[in-house]
A and B are shown apart, each in its own frame.
Chain A
Amino acid sequence: MLECKNINSFYGKAHILNDLCMSVDAGTVVSLLGRNGAGKTTTIKSIMQMVVPKTGQVTFLDRDITGWPPHKVARMGLGYVPEERRIFTDLTILENLEVGRQPARDGSIEWTIEMLFEIFPNLKERRNNRGKELSGGEQQMLTIARTLMGNPKLLLLDEPSEGIAPVIVEQMAETILNLKAQGVTVLISEQNLHFARIVADRAVIIESGSLKFDGTFLDLDAQPEIQGAYLSV
């Protein structure tokens, strides 16, 4: 469904992604693992074309989307959930959701505000509150709900478990499994191996912007040296 072929991405002159290759199959949850600074966020931004890879290709649904403006990428069905949440703090929850709303695409679920409120009941209670009045966990829920309003076929989640309370992390895991059950494909960047193991079918490990491992968690368990080398356990 999504494929990155030998992408090289830069921040200014700093070379972040180095010939990175990886892919995500439809209907699966893939976790992108790696240490701080391994290039996880840059990978996700490069898929969204918010950082345009200098060389290499990103294909989505068999179309080369490299160099497209991000809004077109989003309209193709890629839903981006940023690590820093970036909700619109002066807008209410309902207005935040409105910003994310896009027409349904064939083959994707058509999300309504009611359906999202079922998954995220907290948001329903506070629907007329402004973004800045929400707790960190609520903001995290909102940023996912907002992206779902665009009816994405593939959800890109950048470190959703970071900086939120353990209870919410559990809720987050449930939410992701719930989304998967509904047929949403997910690429989730994570540092937390435990969390990744719960939600994902496959692990992709990167280090210094290059692929180091790609396989199931069973494979990963069979190679403890990989865990030791590329993940902070």
Chain B
Amino acid sequence: MSLLIAQFLTGLANAAALFLVASGLSLIFGVTRIVNFAHGSFYMLGAFIGYSLMQVLPGFFGFWSSVLLAGIAVGLIGVIVEMFVLRPIYKAPELFQLVATFGVILVIQDLTLMTWGAVDVLGPRVPGLKGVVRILGEPVPQYDLALIAITPFVLFALWYLITKTRVGILVRAATQDREMVGALGVNQAWLFTGVFFLGAALAGLGGAIQLPKGGADLLMDFNILAAIFVVVVIGGMGSLPGAYLAAVLISVLNVFGVSYIPQSTLVLMFVVMAVVLMVKPFGLLGREEVAGEHGQVGEPERPFKPAGKKGRIIVAALLLLLALLPVFGSSFAMVLVTDIIIFCLFAASLHFILGLGGLVSFGHAAYFGGGAYVAALLVSSAGTPMELAFLLAPLGACLAAVIIGWLCIRLTGVYFAMLTMAFAQLLWSLVYQWDEFTGGDDGLVDIWPSPWLAETEAYYYLTLIVGVGGIILLRHTAHTPFGYALRASRDSSRQAEATGIHTKRVQWAAFAFAGSMAGLAGALFVFSKGSIFPTELEIARSFDALIVVFLGGVKTLSGAVVGGATLELVKDYLTRFEYWRLILGVLIIVIVILAPDGIVGSLRKLGERTGLLREAEVSK
């Protein structure tokens, strides 16, 4: 019993930092509608800055001043990010900004590496709070008790700020209708900056306050990212008490999980989230998000048309060039292009549900990696011939997508995104921990294609035919009645329902189809590399595809392909530099600011403006 209580208290103390960071994320999302991927980076900065300050400021007061100063410093960094990166792109299509925040992650990662080096630092113990208190005979650190005591005050202060003050009222009004708030004389630009300051400061505080329990390292930005998203979603987007409740729930369950079911730790919070979302689709204390409630920004969607004659000629010429590559290119070039085609197919399959279906999946790697693992397992465990394994891979991915899709499709917006991510994470941890079957962290190796495909050139042609064929199939499907129904469900689900389209079923089918095509890309991938590791199922992989689809331009399928090719090429070139993340991050941010319609969308606009392309007809 006493052990249980002690564990409960540990969980409660762990919840402090989690709550601080998550509440910042929730605030930023609530007002600006930006899914801030860089929030984990703010948390990491808070930890490092706090650590450096604590070296200079001694004693009890020094510690707490350092925590506070770290919060303010990170808040100011947040302001810089908001003013220079996000402000220019508020008018871009929804969710586009997350690409920019992804660029910010990369930049902060390398800047942190430059400033503090690659060593993990251990947080200092807090002067005056170094001891333990015996509670029912069990030792509980004094600092834990301090954290448990502080958190409710922070919650109360935030709650008071949001519900009782003028600023809070303006923030809540802006959450619903920012344009109207502006028309009433409020400078919403400063409101946004203020919210970003507060949100980033909370993340910084969270990073600094957990130092005595954890420390600081260069992986903590990504490590906390999933957890804070989960907390915000379980609690209900925009609900501070909900975030607190969820932070406590996750932290306490985590402590118990570590003690009693150690295998569960990687996946526990995602299971909790999946259960909560299936019972309460908008989180514990959240409320329903009505589509379009926040005022659609940007231009109306342009119809997605079959390729014109000119487009077909260009594509055909490009394909001919690719087909002749083995004649004039080196085998290195073939390997590179193989990688690119595979990645493009993966990105195009995500575009199918994201761009055409309007369903933003944060877990698309599940089907790419899933397909790859299906093929690899068939070969390694069942001795299946490569050709058969290759064909079964997309089927396996399809099956996974059918099951996961059925569970996710009832949700919308960010909740849908988070649930797909949860299931991807579930699959990842299954593969990661089931050593005997999947090889765990060591992956599966020696998965080579059959002899007749073993040559680089032969496999290159296989990839070209299957990969390009897959992309063309995706594009073709967009122009079938099924594709129309999918787009109708995206644009106006009610109207679509009224016309007799079973929107959820259409979306479910699209999800499964996109999953199969991702699985196909996975199959191409595994046999081209000869091995597969759990990294292909990671959140980072899902984000790669997401970034590419947005960066290329979400409104066109060619965007996903162009974006995929660009990113792979740029990455291939940049990774030779020490600080390639910094360069890539800055590059992404610049592209996002200069080309808010994505690469393809902006090129097309430029073409129309200069008269090279015929203007698309606009109905009045």
Question: Do B172 and A69 touch (CB < 8 A)?
Answer: no
B residues 575-620 near A (Cβ < 8 Å) are 615, 618, 620
Q: List A contacts of B170 (CB < 8 A).
A: 99
Question: Do A88 and B173 touch (CB < 8 A)?
Answer: yes
Chain B 161-204, CB-CB to A under 8 Å as 1, else 0, gives 00000100110110011011111111111000000000000000
Question: Do A88 and B186 touch (CB < 8 A)?
Answer: no
User: Does A98 have its Cβ within 8 Å of any Cβ on chain B?
Assistant: yes
In the assembled complex, the Cα of A14 lies from the Cα of B618 at a distance in Å of 8
A residues 60-102 near B (Cβ < 8 Å) are 69-71, 74-75, 80, 82, 86, 88-91, 95-96, 98-102
User: Does A228 have its Cβ within 8 Å of any Cβ on chain B?
Assistant: no
Nearest residue, chain B, Cβ from A98: B169
Nearest-neighbour CB distance to chain A for B614, whole angstroms, equals 13
User: Does B299 have its Cβ within 8 Å of any Cβ on chain A?
Assistant: yes
Nearest-neighbour CB distance to chain B for A177, whole angstroms, equals 24
Question: Do B177 and A86 touch (CB < 8 A)?
Answer: yes
User: Does B300 have its Cβ within 8 Å of any Cβ on chain A?
Assistant: yes
User: Does A50 have its Cβ within 8 Å of any Cβ on chain B?
Assistant: yes
Question: Do A88 and B618 touch (CB < 8 A)?
Answer: no
Nearest-neighbour CB distance to chain A for B573, whole angstroms, equals 38
In the assembled complex, the Cα of A80 lies from the Cα of B173 at a distance in Å of 16
In-complex Cβ contact of A69 among B169, B182, B300, B615 (8 A): B182
Nearest-neighbour CB distance to chain A for B181, whole angstroms, equals 6
Question: Do B173 and A50 touch (CB < 8 A)?
Answer: no
In-complex Cβ contact of A91 among B169, B187, B299 (8 A): B169
Question: Do A95 and B169 touch (CB < 8 A)?
Answer: yes
Nearest residue, chain A, Cβ from B238: A90
Q: List B contacts of A107 (CB < 8 A).
A: none
Question: Do B618 and A70 touch (CB < 8 A)?
Answer: no
User: Does A13 have its Cβ within 8 Å of any Cβ on chain B?
Assistant: yes
Question: Do B169 and A99 touch (CB < 8 A)?
Answer: yes
In the assembled complex, the Cα of A69 lies from the Cα of B87 at a distance in Å of 14
In the assembled complex, the Cα of A98 lies from the Cα of B163 at a distance in Å of 12
Nearest-neighbour CB distance to chain B for A196, whole angstroms, equals 23
Question: Do B183 and A80 touch (CB < 8 A)?
Answer: yes
In the assembled complex, the Cα of A14 lies from the Cα of B300 at a distance in Å of 12
With A50-B179, A88-B172 known to touch, is A98 a contact of B185 (CB < 8 Å)?
no
Question: Do A88 and B183 touch (CB < 8 A)?
Answer: no
Q: List B contacts of A74 (CB < 8 A).
A: 182-185
In the assembled complex, the Cα of A80 lies from the Cα of B179 at a distance in Å of 12
Q: List B contacts of A150 (CB < 8 A).
A: 184-185
User: Does A147 have its Cβ within 8 Å of any Cβ on chain B?
Assistant: yes
Question: Do A147 and B173 touch (CB < 8 A)?
Answer: no
Q: List B contacts of A80 (CB < 8 A).
A: 183-184
In the assembled complex, the Cα of A91 lies from the Cα of B175 at a distance in Å of 11
B residues 293-350 near A (Cβ < 8 Å) are 299-300
Q: List B contacts of A90 (CB < 8 A).
A: 172, 176
A residues 27-82 near B (Cβ < 8 Å) are 48, 50, 69-71, 74-75, 80, 82
User: Does A224 have its Cβ within 8 Å of any Cβ on chain B?
Assistant: no
Question: Do B177 and A88 touch (CB < 8 A)?
Answer: yes
With A14-B618, A71-B188 known to touch, is A48 a contact of B183 (CB < 8 Å)?
yes
> For this complex, into which size category does the number of interface residues on chain B fall?
20 to 34
Nearest-neighbour CB distance to chain B for A39, whole angstroms, equals 12
Question: Do B172 and A82 touch (CB < 8 A)?
Answer: no
In the assembled complex, the Cα of A48 lies from the Cα of B185 at a distance in Å of 11
Q: List A contacts of B179 (CB < 8 A).
A: 50, 70
With A12-B618, A13-B618 known to touch, is A91 a contact of B183 (CB < 8 Å)?
no
Q: List B contacts of A48 (CB < 8 A).
A: 183
Q: List B contacts of A88 (CB < 8 A).
A: 172-173, 176-177, 180
Q: List B contacts of A50 (CB < 8 A).
A: 179, 183
Nearest residue, chain B, Cβ from A49: B183
In the assembled complex, the Cα of A150 lies from the Cα of B180 at a distance in Å of 13
In the assembled complex, the Cα of A13 lies from the Cα of B166 at a distance in Å of 39
Question: Do A12 and B300 touch (CB < 8 A)?
Answer: yes
In the assembled complex, the Cα of A102 lies from the Cα of B183 at a distance in Å of 12
In the assembled complex, the Cα of A82 lies from the Cα of B185 at a distance in Å of 14
User: Does A153 have its Cβ within 8 Å of any Cβ on chain B?
Assistant: no
Nearest-neighbour CB distance to chain A for B160, whole angstroms, equals 15
Q: List B contacts of A12 (CB < 8 A).
A: 299-300, 618
In the assembled complex, the Cα of A226 lies from the Cα of B189 at a distance in Å of 45
User: Does A202 have its Cβ within 8 Å of any Cβ on chain B?
Assistant: no
In the assembled complex, the Cα of A152 lies from the Cα of B172 at a distance in Å of 23
Question: Do A70 and B183 touch (CB < 8 A)?
Answer: yes
In the assembled complex, the Cα of A39 lies from the Cα of B529 at a distance in Å of 61
In the assembled complex, the Cα of A12 lies from the Cα of B169 at a distance in Å of 33
Q: List B contacts of A13 (CB < 8 A).
A: 615, 618
Nearest residue, chain B, Cβ from A96: B173
Nearest-neighbour CB distance to chain A for B582, whole angstroms, equals 34
Q: List A contacts of B184 (CB < 8 A).
A: 71, 74, 80, 99-100, 102, 146-147, 150
Q: List B contacts of A70 (CB < 8 A).
A: 179, 182-183
Q: List A contacts of B615 (CB < 8 A).
A: 13
Question: Do A71 and B618 touch (CB < 8 A)?
Answer: no
Nearest residue, chain B, Cβ from A100: B184
Q: List A contacts of B182 (CB < 8 A).
A: 69-71, 74
Nearest residue, chain B, Cβ from A89: B176
A residues 98-133 near B (Cβ < 8 Å) are 98-102
Nearest residue, chain A, Cβ from B190: A71
Nearest residue, chain A, Cβ from B290: A89
In-complex Cβ contact of B180 among A86, A95, A102 (8 A): A86
Q: List A contacts of B181 (CB < 8 A).
A: 99
| Among A12, A89, A99: residue with most chain B CB under 10 A | A99
In the assembled complex, the Cα of A13 lies from the Cα of B616 at a distance in Å of 10
Q: Which 6 A-B pairs have the closest CB atoms?
A: A74-B185, A13-B618, A99-B173, A88-B173, A86-B180, A102-B185
Interface residues of chain A, those whose CB is within 8 Å of chain B, are 12-14, 48, 50, 69-71, 74-75, 80, 82, 86, 88-91, 95-96, 98-102, 146-147, 150
Interface residues of chain B, those whose CB is within 8 Å of chain A, are 166, 169-170, 172-173, 176-177, 179-189, 299-300, 615, 618, 620
Can you list 24 A-B pairs, Cβ within 8 angstroms, ordered by A?
A: A12-B300, A13-B615, A14-B618, A50-B183, A69-B187, A69-B189, A70-B179, A71-B183, A71-B184, A71-B185, A71-B187, A71-B188, A88-B177, A89-B176, A90-B172, A90-B176, A91-B172, A91-B176, A95-B173, A98-B166, A100-B184, A100-B185, A102-B184, A150-B184
Other contacts beyond A71-B186, A98-B169, A147-B184: 6, CB < 8 A: A69-B189, A80-B184, A82-B183, A86-B177, A88-B180, A90-B172
